[in-house]
Amino acid sequence: MDSMAVDFSRRRLTHIHSPELPTSTCPDTSPLPVMDLSAALSILRPPIASSFPHFASLPFPDPSAFLAFTQHLQNAHKYSSPSLTIPSVPPAPVAKRVALDVQPPASPQSCSSSSFISSSPQQSPHRKQAAPIPDDKKDEAYYERRRKNNDAAKRSRDARRQKEEAIATRAAFLEQMASRRGLQLSVQLARQLHSSSKRLAAFTFSASQADPSLGATSKMNLCQAVNNAMDTALKSDPSTCLFGEDVAFGGVFRCSVGLQEKYGATSKMNLCQAVNNAMDTALKSDPSTCLFGEDVAFGGVFRCSVGLQEKYGKDRVFNTPLCEQGIAGFGIGLAVAGATAIAEIQFADYIFPAFDQIVNEAAKYRYRSGGLFDCGKLTIRATWGAVGHGALYHSQSPEAYFAHTPGLKIVIPRGPIQAKGLLLSCIRDDDPCLFFEPKLLYRTAVEEVPVGDYQLELSKAEVVRQGKDVTMVGWGTQLHVLMEAAQIAKEQLGADCEVIDLKTILPWDVDTVAESVTKTGRLLVSHEAPVTCGFAAEIGATIQGRCFLNLEAPITRVCGWDTPFPHVYEPFYLPTKWRVVDAIKKLSHF
């Protein structure tokens, strides 16, 4: 910490001068002048200092930034145990050494101290002013000096502007990445971390000013707070992953120390590898699990089952004839006998020969037997959605056909983390499940996935982007289209869109969507399947009944057209981000 303090003091930041210490001309290695923080805060921002007196002993450059940071931590960790709550203790008024990069107040007379802040050295009153140069003395050398000075000033302004843009870009990046992992850092904190990474260990705060959910019982530095925050996020959501340079051993500043030992390692996987890892975990944990389908033994068309037969044998991983009805019927019988069945249909387009087995047998087996028999340990996997050149029989999205059938569960992931956790939940669920895998994301979606065994809750939607103007609902590949459209709408239209990943189509999470629409007043639902009788219609009808008095505009659907899936015109058929942006514009201006 001492070495960090030395490096921190060497930074060329504006000093706070107290009346006892005149402006210093010492070298950069000299210690900073000392000044009471209460006086400094009253100089910097008198309204903030008066509104938040408990920040008086806080060595943080911007109280509002710290307030935003602790508020984000509190929101991110609202599930913390009540036993971690600590009593509020007023901070002791002590002088702190600080170095702040701020602008001088508009009215120095309103300050509670005679100290002042200046971004440049004050000119001595005894210094003689340079005499103006007469016009007749302005020769070529004079104008050359003027030109050079102007060029130098322009370069300085450009460099300063580029630095500010870099800081803003870095801040936005940190905030986006943090929000995806459950730890939302404020823009103010991101700016501070960008300007000096060593400040991370230098900022401290007392337990009375910390979020009680952090579990602080004494003074804690920011690294410890971040470690506690990430610990809580990893504990509350099994899909949360922590990754970066050297995080496995704790990171440069030891902010992630002990987390890998507690929660296990992660590995970079695409969606195909995540599905393979999930089935590997299921086969390993349950000896009754069997995997079967067309060409499954050698790895399948998309290589999702590669290596599993060699690992678990031909009796548990095996091929079947090219008969989807037979595959589904065999899976139902295997599940009724007490085994865990994982059946693969090569393409969702080919699932319709098995429609009778799935709808009339699997979905109704428990009901028609009065609970005496069931085939709940049946999971049917099928590749799903458009891929760019699949045409009629390799591009369909048939989820709406099965969503009309009580007794089934239908799940569609958006990425590798969800694919593994949701597939394991389907395999171990007590109801027969259809697990549709977006084939376009098999190789393109890559994430850090926990290598251990974990499950994600079914029938629970996820708000992947917060917003206040428009609610957008999607699943699978289309969710990524909605995320791009939301960013474009923010930049071009100023519309702040909230994006929800439904994940489970049947039964779907009505409450999460209704809560969002109550807040925004506008709903847009998008999927690749044709618009007529698509699942977007069910969502719209349900939300219309739940949130009618809160709607500010008609519910909008952006879906595929009511035609067979074309080959040449596939880009025109799919609901692109530009179609979504146009719909957002109409919703916002209604």
Contact 37, 98 (CB under 8 A): yes
User: What's the whole-number mean pLDDT along residues 516-534?
Assistant: 97
pLDDT in tens, 119-148: 444 555 555 566 777 877 778 888 888 888
For the cut 50, the answer to whether the pLDDT of residue 362 exceeds it is yes
For 429-446, what is each residue's pLDDT tens digit? 999 999 999 999 999 999
The percentage of the chain sitting over the pLDDT mark of 70, rounded to a whole number, equals: 66
The per-residue pLDDT for 27 is: 47
Helix%, strand%, coil% for the chain, nearest 5 = 45, 15, 45
Q: CA-CA distance, 499 to 466, in Å (whole number)?
A: 7
Q: 538 an active-site residue?
A: no
Q: Which own/partner contact pairs does 482-487 have at CB distance under 8 Å and 24+ positions apart?
A: 482/526, 482/577, 482/580, 484/577, 485/577, 485/578, 485/580, 485/581, 485/584
Summary mean pLDDT of the chain: 78
Q: Which residue has the higher pLDDT, 14 or 495?
A: 495
pLDDT at 86: 38
Q: How is residue 219 written in tokens?
A: 């003074």
Q: Is the dihedral of CA 29, 30, 36, 40 positive or negative?
A: negative
Known active-site residue 457: no
- Rounded Cα distance between 422 and 583, Å, is 31
Per the listing, tokens 């957008």 go with 472
Q: How confident is the model at residue 180 (pLDDT cuts 50, 70, 90)?
A: low
Among 294, 324, 399, 498, the one annotated catalytic: 324
Asked if 240 and 184 touch (Cβ cutoff 8 Å), the reply is no
Q: How many CB atoms lie within 10 A of CB 38?
A: 17
- The one-character DSSP state at 265 is -
The b/e string for 399-423 (b: 16+ C-beta within 10 A; e otherwise) is: bbbbbebebbbbbbbbbbbbbbbbb
- Predicted confidence at residue 314, as pLDDT, reads 96
- Residue entry with tokens 């300050």: 111
3-state helix/strand/coil string of 401-434: HHCCCCCCEEECCCCHHHHHHHHHHHHCCCCCEE
DSSP three-state, residue 99 = coil
Strand, coil or helix: 355: helix
Structure tokens at 214: 């952090």
pLDDT digits (tens, 9 = 90+) for 40-69: 444 444 444 444 444 444 444 454 554 555
CATH 3.40.50.970 domain extents, the chain: 269-450
CB 185 within 8 A of CB 178: yes
pLDDT tens column, 327-336: 999 999 999 9
**Annotated catalytic residue within 72, 394, 480, 527:** 394
Asked if 288 contacts 340 with a C-beta cutoff of 8 angstroms, the reply is: yes
Question: Given this model, what pLDDT does residue 204 score?
Answer: 43
CATH of domain 463-588: 3.40.50.920
State which H helix or E strand residue 162 sits in: helix 140-180
The superfamily CATH assigns to domain 269-450 is Thiamin diphosphate (ThDP)-binding fold, Pyr/PP domains (3.40.50.970)
Taking only the tens place, the pLDDT of each residue in 381-420 is: 999 999 878 788 899 999 999 999 999 999 999 999 999 9
Reference 407, options 444, 366, 456; nearest CA is: 366
What residue spans in the chain does CATH classification 3.40.50.920 cover? 463-588
